[in-house]
Each structure stands twice: as structure tokens, then as C-alpha cells.
Amino acid sequence: MTKQATPTLAASLVGMSVLRVDDIPLLTGAGAYVGDVNRPGQVWARIVRSEIAHGRLLRVDVEAARRSAGVVGVFSGSDTPDVRIPLRLEWAATEATRAALQPPLARDRVRYVGEPVAVIVATSQYAAEDAAELVVVEIEELPPLVETRAAAENAHTVLHQTVGGNIVNRLVFGYGDAEAATRSAAVVIRERMDIHRHTGVPLETRGLVAEYEPESGRLTVWGPTKVKHFNRSALSGLLDIDEGRIRYVETDVGGGFGVRGEFYPEDFVIPWLAIRLERPVKWIEDRHEHFVATNHSREQSHDIELAVAEDGRFLALRDRNWIDLGAYVRTHGLTLPVSTALHMSGPYAWQALEIDSSAVMTNKTPSGTYRGPGIVEATFVRERLIDRAAAELGLDPAELRRRNMVPVEALPQRIELGHGVVRFLDSGDFPDAWDTFLEQAGYDDLCAERDAARVRGEHVGVGLAAYVEHGAVGPYEQARIVPEPGGHFAVSVGVSGVGQGVRTVLAQVAAQELGVPLEDVTVSHHDTDTIPGGFGAFASRGTVFGGSAIMLAARDLHKRAAAAAASQLGVPADEVTIEGARASAKGRSVPLLELGCAGEGRFEKATTEASFGASLALVALDPGTGKIDVRRFIVAYDVGRAVNPELVIGQLVGAAAQGIAGALMEELPFDETGQPLCTSFVDYLMPTAADLPYIDALILEYPALGNPLGARGAGEGGIDGTGGSIANAVADALGAAGVEVRALPLRPEDVKRLIRLAAGE
């Protein structure tokens, strides 16, 4: 793709790969991440965490720590208010779900290694760490629950007494008569499938700085992003402080991926300390803490069954699954089971669907949403089984998929799955998108390449995955545009930046709609003081919601300016033309700035935007080392309308890279006592440049009908099919032994075992 310099012509801004507006500070060291925020008189917090996975908390002795040099204060659970970190997403939550919410500091039990039990505040980070070593935590150990299905069935050891078991909700989703449909099937594939624990791991760990001004009663919090308005209201509720007195300031962010910026225990503790001590308090998570404290994700187990007719028509999909939520329900509540169920259908038409999902508590770090939550998992289990069905029916896997895609005539389609979950497909053309993908990816050529390699005796395979992501979640977003001196426009909007370039994309939309050059627009989303409300950055919503709200605000500004100019110039409003920063009529003109008007826009939408996606992997297995060499990886994704194609490609490629590593390398294992085995970059295998292939990303643009921009999400689509297509490629490379590919990750030791199986050993 060709690159363009920053254009000054506004007309074609949307759709142009302009350079990002924020890059120069980030490249010259002038960025300001939370670790770079320092306040006069600040003190440092250090969290003391449980080293035991499950037990009764008998005593937290802080006396020696309190006497340590530089210590300002030491607090344990009994010193803090008896509150729980609240739900942000309430769907399908019950009383049992809420009974498993987390206290900021453990009170009478500890339930995972890494659970906060005390906090040290000292004059330096070093002093705080020294003192943390002196805290004595006495725990009477209880049996740890580590394995998900075993925990679900265990009636003797229960993590949360008031829940009454280790399942915080069991949800049944679906429609149609799956049992009858299955009875009429020619082929039924049943399998147990498992996905391993891994997570987002942004390069910057979490951090917070909080400052309280006793005179004014104002509390300012730097650092959290993603959902700052929710976090502000949550903190306001927990501290019983009026929301208007709390200010959240977003800093530059070293990656989000779903895990950063949720309201965590520390998001209560650090502001609470700032008030209690009346001093600015700073906390920066270290990498070891990050691996035990920040949300994990992905760990699921499925008993899945696919029923297919003789002609290849999909009849029913039945799935019983166990979603491991770790030790507590965190802010996204039951999003993982809900999203897994919502995305189980993929782009296909099913006569019947039945999903029985248990959200399970175990003595491990709590799990939350990580880029493509539930989508990666659902796509892996479904797409693997589709390949098995294709093999049984003797059909090409691409053809079997194509035959079952929801046809364009069936759109829009709305299917209730239960518990308020709706599969809504508004527009697009799945079969056409699939054909385009196969052609552009060179599917036939890659299959020929595979066949030729096999003749040479190589273990090479091609794997496909198709999926639909229901992204761009509402409920609404609002924007405000104010003319400023010099022909500038200040745009404020309630979304969040997580390092993805959303400010550039929103500036493009604003400039285009206002008819001004990009450099005349400044977008801000950083400060809750200037933006009254907003929902932040999740579910690939920033461009769709932020962009649409900005379009409406720009139109509103033009309407108001035309009216004001009309009365000032003494002409009817429809004779006023607005060009850039001036309104004119009959040869006279007036700057918008002097008209004293601002534009407001609020974009609301109850439904999601569904995006079609597909990926293809070509892999070669090394029988000696078991290493999987991903020779080609191609992803295609429907973004409706690409505001900045290069940035979209950057999102797709970056997401695919994470997913490939998630399928092959990354893992968060625990031993049978609940001890985490990966707590540093030495054990957790993050992919380097040498580990990853070149990734091809194709942008598909089937305009969305539900928003003025015509856009769909882009942030997550690159990851959704990674596990599925890679597992299918590995299975293809193994031939008959490919049926054994039923779990992720696929590490070298797994591949060696499978190759021995394939060789009949």
C-alpha cells in the first residue's frame, strides 16, 4: 500500500492512510505514561500478595514493616472498608455471581497466589519493597482447586461459601430443537476440546497515581484508561465521594488488549490511600505482579458436538462448556461465557443451537476479557470440528464452510439466544467475502504448495477459519466540537486511547466532516473533567461510536452556526454556506468562533455491528524438534469502512501476531498446589521478531448500515481465527493423526507426540 504524507485537502481524509498525530512525542521520549507522572510530595505503594493459593487468613503482622526505614503507613484488609470491586458489565449476573466479587485487600480468606493482602506506603519504591519483605502473613491452607471441571464438580471445597458451589452461573443459550436435528444427521462429530490460559500482557504494566486535595475535596487519578468514566463512578460509589469531585486523567498507554484499565483492587486501594494519607500515592505494578494480578483469560473446556447432513448442511451445534474465571468475578462479570455463546455460531446458518455454559471458580488469578474474548475460543472449537466433518464427508473444507454461510438474502437476521443475548447480523455478504478471501489469499495455490511439499516428505498443512465478531458495543458515545481561534476546532469525545491510534482516526473523521485540514482539529479524550460521559475502549468500539458521535456533532455545529450566521447577516439560514471556519452569505462572512456556538453529538445504538473475518495458515512441522513453522498467515476482516487503512492493517497484523503466539507459545500454567509457573518474561514465552511470520492482512469493506460512518470494529478481528486456523493447519499436516489436535496450545512437545502418533508409533 502506498503511503501519503499528511494531506491538507480535507475531502478525501476518510479512507486515507495519514500519519498518526501522536507519534513524535512517543518517538522522542516525550510521551507521558503513568510511570512518568510524578507529583510533589508523592509516596510509593507496594502491594503484599498471598503466596498461597487457598487458605484462611489468620493474621497479617505489619509491625516490623511499619518500623522499616521510610515507611509512611501499612494497611491490611481489616483497615480498609468492607467493599467489593463492582461489576461493569452486568449481563446474566445473579446474586451468586455478585457473591464472588473481590475485596480490595483479602479479608478472611485468600483465594489465589497474588491476591492483595496488605499495602505498604513509603517514601521510595525501594523502601516500600524492603518493608514488604517484613510483612508476616499467616495462612491456614485449604485444598486448592486448580482444574476447571474438577472444581465445578467439587462440593466439599467451595471458594465462596455464599455461592454454595464453585459455579457462579450456569447459562443455557440457544434456539431450535438441537436434539432432533442431531438425530437426523448423517455425520455427528463429538469431541472434548480445551483452550489454555494466557493473556494480553501489554508491554507496560499497570500503574496509578492518585492525589487528594483536602481543601477542595478533589481527588485526581492518573493512569487508568479503557473505561475511565465507569471507573470514576465505581470509585465514587466505593469511597462515597461525589462523582463531580473525582477526576480521571488518561495518560499515554503501553498497550491495553482488554486487560488494562478495568477497575482492579488497586484502583480502589491507591486512591483510598491518597485520601487517608493526604499525600499523592504512586503505584507501578512490576512484571512478576502483572503475571499474577492482572486478568488472565482464555481457559475453557468444551464437550462439543457438530451435526451435519449428508449434503454438508449444518444442522446443529451443541456445546457444554466450562469457563474458568479464576478466584473472583471481576468487572466484566459473565462476559466470557456470554461472548463465547454469542460467537459460537460463526458466519453459519444452523437449524438449532444449544450451549450450556458453566462459569467456574478456581484458585487461580481471576480471568477477564483479552482481545477477542470468547471469540478466539469459540472459533477454535467450532472450526476444528468443521474440518473433521469435511474430512468425513470428503468435502473441501473451504467448500463446506461456503455452503453453510448465512446468505445475503437472509440479512438482516436477529436471533435471540437467551439471557438477553442476540445474534444480530445486519449487513455484509459472507459468501462473497469468503470467496474474495480465498482468492486473494491464494488458497488453491497454497494447497498446491502443500501437496508439492508433501511429495518431498515434509509435514505441511493448510488450515482455515471463518468467524463473525459482534463488536462495536454501545450503548452510546457523545462528542462536542468547539471552534477555537486560528480556525481550529477542539473535539472532545468519551472513548479511550489504548495505544491504537484512535485520536488520529477520530481527527480524520472530524476534519472531513468539518471540511478543514487535519491539522486544524485537535481531538481530546483524556480527561473526565472535559468530557462529561463516555464508555471507553473495549469491543472494538472507538471508531464506530466515537466517529459517529463526532460526525453528528460536526453536523450539529454547522446547523447551529448557519442559524446564528443567518440572523447576524440578515439572511435565511439556507442561504448560509459554511466553509471551514467561516460562515458566509451574499458575499459577507463571519468566523464560526464569533458565532459562539458549539456542536454536540450523541450516537446511540443498542445492537452490535457484526464483522466477517477469515484466516488461513500454512504451517510446516519439524519432526525432529516439533517446532511449528508458520510459513504463511493471512487474515481478512470486514471493517465496513476503513478510515485509515494503514492503521487498520496495523491492528489486524498486531492482533494476529498475538494470536499466533497464543496458539503456539504463550501459556500460564499452574502446578497442582495452585502455584503459577510463569511469572516473568523468562518463563512466559513472548514472541520476538524471530518467532513470527510475515502476516498478510486484507481489508474487506462491506459498509455497516447501523452508523453514519458505515464502519465496523477493527481492533480485535485479527486475533479471532488464529487458534482455529493454526490448529487446522497442524491437523492437516498430520494427516490421519490430525484428529488428535483437540487442544491449544500446540507446543513443540505436543507436535512431537502427534508426529509419533501419525507415524503409527
Partner 1 sequence: MTRRIAIKVNGSWYEGDVEPRLLLSDFIRDVAGLTGTHVGCEHGVCGACTVQLDGAPVRSCLLLSVQADGREVTTVEGLQNAGGALHVLQQAFRETHALQCGFCSPGFLMSLEPLLRADGPAELTDAAIREALSGNLCRCTGYQNIVAAVQLALARRRGAA
Closest-CA residue to 182 (of 314, 344, 312, 349) = 314
Minimum CB distance to partner 1 smaller for 28 or for 161 = 28
Q: Which does 257 bind (CB under 5 to 8 A by kind): ligand FES, partner 1, none?
A: partner 1
Question: What's the min distance (Å) between Cβ of 691 and partner 1?
Answer: 8
Which of 73, 144, 499, 626 contacts ligand FES by CB under 6 A? 499
Packing angle between helix 430-441 and helix 443-455, nearest 10 degrees?
50
Q: Which does 253 bind (CB under 5 to 8 A by kind): partner 1, ligand FES, none?
A: partner 1
Going by their DSSP bridges, the two strands 577-579 and 521-524 should be labelled as unpaired
CA distance 711 to 717: 13
For residue 259, the minimal CB distance to partner 1 (Å) is: 11
Which residue in the shown chain puts its C-beta closest to ligand FES?
Answer: 203
**287 binds partner 1 per the rule CB under 8 A:** yes
Site string for ligand FES, 676-715 (x = CB under 6 A): ----------------------------------------
216 binds, among partner 1, ligand FES, none (CB under 5 to 8 A by kind): none
The one-letter amino acid code at 215 reads: E
Contacts 24+ apart (CB under 8 A), 81-87: 81/238, 81/272, 82/107, 83/238, 83/268, 85/234, 85/263, 85/264, 85/265, 85/267, 85/268, 85/328, 85/330, 85/331, 86/234, 86/237, 86/238, 86/263, 86/331, 87/329, 87/331, 87/332, 87/333
- Listed residue (401, 400, 328) closest to 364, CA to CA: 328
In angstroms, what CA-CA distances link 189 with 186, 307, 379? 10, 7, 16
Question: Which 489-508 residues touch partner 1, going by CB under 8 A?
Answer: 498-501
> Judged by CB, which is closer to ligand FES: 255, or 623?
255
Q: Which is nearer to partner 1, 497 or 601 (CB)?
A: 497
* Angle of CA points 406, 410, 412, to nearest 5°: 105
Q: What does residue 424 show for φ and ψ, rounded to 5 degrees?
A: -115, 120
Q: Does 155 bind ligand FES (CB under 6 A)?
A: no
Which 628-657 positions form the footprint of partner 1 (CB under 8 A)? 646-647, 650, 653-654, 656-657
Instruction: Considering only CA atoms, give the Rg of the chain.
Output: 27
Distance CA(434)–CA(398), nearest Å, equals 9
Contact 178, 354 (CB under 8 A): yes
Q: Cβ of residue 29: shortest distance to partner 1, in angstroms? A: 2
Q: Which of 185, 226, 207 is nearest to 538 (CA)?
A: 226
C-beta of 19 vs 590, nearer to partner 1: 19
Residue with smaller CB distance to ligand FES, 585 or 714:
714
Identity of the amino acid at 126: Y
Q: Name every residue whose Cβ is closer than 8 Å to that of residue 342 and which is 6 or more positions away in sequence.
A: 374, 417, 421, 423, 470
Query: Stretches 17-25, 212-220, 441-449, 698-706: which one binds partner 1 (CB under 8 A)?
Result: 17-25
**Least distance in angstroms from the C-beta of 654 to ligand FES:** 8
Q: Are 620 and 466 in contact (CB under 8 A)?
A: no
| Between 211 and 252, CB nearer to ligand FES | 252
Closer residue to partner 1 in complex, CB, 163/656? 656
Q: Is 158 in the site for partner 1 (CB under 8 A)?
A: no
Pure H helices in 426-581: 430-441, 443-455, 502-514, 547-569
Question: Does 662 participate in binding ligand FES (rule CB under 6 A)?
Answer: no
Give the burial string for 316-334 (b: 16+ CB within 10 Å, else e).
bbbbbbbbbbbbbbbbbbb
Q: Which is nearer to ligand FES, 148 or 205 (CB)?
A: 205
C-alpha cell at 519: 491539522
30 binds, among partner 1, ligand FES, none (CB under 5 to 8 A by kind): partner 1
CB of 619: closest distance to partner 1 in angstroms?
17
Q: What is the rounded CA–CA span in Å between residue 509 and residue 710?
A: 12
Contact pattern from residue 200 through residue 239 relative to partner 1, giving x for each residue in contact according to CB under 8 A and a dash for the rest:
xxxxxx----------------------------------
C-alpha cell belonging to residue 468: 463473525
Q: How far is the CB of 685 from partner 1 (least distance, A)?
A: 10
Number of residues that bind partner 1 (CB under 8 A): 54
* Cβ proximity to ligand FES, 203 vs 455, nearer residue: 203
- Residue 597 to residue 594: CA distance in whole angstroms: 8
Q: What CA–CA distance (Å, rounded) separates 362 from 188? A: 32
Give the 3-state secondary structure of residue 53: coil
Site track for partner 1 across 665-694, x = CB under 8 A: ---------------xxx---x-xxxxx-x
Q: Which of 63, 67, 108, 126 binds partner 1 (CB under 8 A)?
A: 126
Q: Considering the rule CB under 8 A, would residue 28 count as an interface residue with partner 1?
A: yes
Rounded to a whole number of angstroms, the minimum distance from the CB of residue 563 to ligand FES is 45
Which grid cell is 641? 469502512
Closest CA to 612 of 538, 713, 539, 696: 713
DSSP secondary structure of 466-509: EEEEEE---SEEEEEEEEEGGGEEEEEES---SSS-HHHHHHHH
User: Which residue, 235 or 661, is less far from ligand FES as judged by CB?
Assistant: 661
The footprint of ligand FES on residues 349-408 (CB under 6 A) is none
Per CB under 8 A, the segment of 21-29, 61-69, 275-283, 308-316 that binds partner 1 is: 21-29
What's the gap between Cα 317 and its chain centre?
26
- Do 365 and 114 meet the contact criterion of CB atoms below 8 Å apart? yes
Sheet of 488-493: strands edge to edge? Answer: 521-524, 488-493, 476-484, 599-604
- When the beta carbons of 54 and 290 are compared against partner 1, the nearer one is 290
As a 3-state breakdown, the chain gives helix, strand, coil percent values, each rounded to 5, of 30, 25, 40
Which positions from 186 to 215 touch ligand FES by CB under 6 A, shown as an x/- string? -----------------x------------
- Indicate the residue among 30 and 172 with the shorter CB distance to partner 1: 30
- Please, which residue, 252 or 354, has the CB nearer to partner 1? 252
CB of 285 to partner 1, least distance (A): 11
- Judge whether 84 and 102 are in contact, CB under 8 Å: yes
Nearer to ligand FES, 255 or 591 (CB): 255
Question: Applying CB under 8 A, does 30 fall inside the site for partner 1?
Answer: yes
Tell the smallest beta-carbon distance from residue 126 to partner 1 (Å).
Answer: 7
Binding status of residue 255 toward ligand FES by CB under 6 A: yes
Q: Which residues bind ligand FES (CB under 6 A)?
A: 203, 255, 499
Q: Which residues bind partner 1 (CB under 8 A)?
A: 3, 19-20, 22-24, 26-33, 35-36, 125-126, 200-205, 252-255, 257, 286-287, 498-501, 646-647, 650, 653-654, 656-658, 680-682, 686, 688-692, 694-695
